[in-house]
Amino acid sequence: MKRIIIICEGQTEQQFCNDVLQFHFNSKNIYIHYPTIEKTGGGIVNWEALKFQINTTLKKDPTVIVTTLIDFYGIHAHHKYPFWEQAKQQADKSIGMNIMEQGMKDNLPPELQNRFIPYIQLYEFEALLFSDITVYQNNFEDNEFLDYSYLEQTINSNPNPETINDSPETAPSKRLARIIKGYYSDNDNHKVLYGSLLSHDIGLLKIRAKCHRFNQWMTKLENI
């Protein structure tokens, strides 16, 4: 059985791997393991810290493939990711993500590069949760919505949810907090729960149909 290790930015991405991706890859005879970033136990870190974890993981097992599931939203200049400045300057942020991902790959030792498939989610994992409005209707009562019309507006104006921007006020997770009552809690448990619930009910087919970069990443992993 082939093996993939998905280094997740946090618990929300980790739960998504457990509840949605694991069954899909098992059906293709691919085993996945999905630890969070080690240095923080979840949360973006500087590139050198993440690179150390990637290198260490690849060296431990010469047969394993390593990939990442991290958000562009949380990466800033001080994290020193390869080609971050060039990526920010791109009008088409998908091109920017490709530049950064290639930079991450090229920054590893040459002998490890062919087993590393970098992936940066544009702009946040939570963007995937805007792939289907019906799951909100099916899972929440009217009194659990703070602003249902804002949900409709967000989905209708973003045929590809990955284009939802990275503003501190209107990033995908910030929109969900404006739409769903109690989305943020003191310990973030609701954020993880809702991420798992919504992504599971939307399903991979709909997410992949709407979110093009995510679909490209999935295709690469399926073809290892």
Q: Read out DSSP for the chain?
A: -EEEEEEESSHHHHHHIIIIIHHHHHTTTEEEE-PBPTTTTSS---HHHHHHHHHHHHHH-TT-EEEEEEEGGG--GGG--TTHHHHHH-SSHHHHHHHHHHHHHHTS-TTTGGGEE--EESS-GGGGGGS-THHHHHH--GGGBS-HHHHHHHHHT-SSGGGS---TTTSHHHHHHHHBTTSS-TTSHHHHHHHHHHHHHH-HHHHHHH-HHHHHHHHHHHT-
Asked whether residue 110 falls in the same domain as residue 215, the answer is: yes
Asked whether residue 47 falls in the same domain as residue 138, the answer is: no
Asked whether residue 55 falls in the same domain as residue 68, the answer is: yes
Asked whether residue 70 falls in the same domain as residue 98, the answer is: yes
Asked whether residue 157 falls in the same domain as residue 88, the answer is: no
The band of 186, judged by pLDDT with boundaries at 50, 70 and 90, is low
> Range of 147's domain?
125-202
The band of 189, judged by pLDDT with boundaries at 50, 70 and 90, is low
Asked whether residue 211 falls in the same domain as residue 169, the answer is: no
Whether the pLDDT of residue 29 is over 60: the answer is: yes
How high is the pLDDT of residue 188? 57
How high is the pLDDT of residue 74? 92
Q: Encode pLDDT of 2-24 as tens digits.
A: 999 999 999 999 999 999 999 99
Tell which wins on pLDDT, 121 or 186. Answer: 121
Q: Encode pLDDT of 83-117 as tens digits.
A: 999 999 999 999 999 999 999 999 999 999 999 99
Asked whether residue 139 falls in the same domain as residue 161, the answer is: yes
Tally of domains within the chain:
2
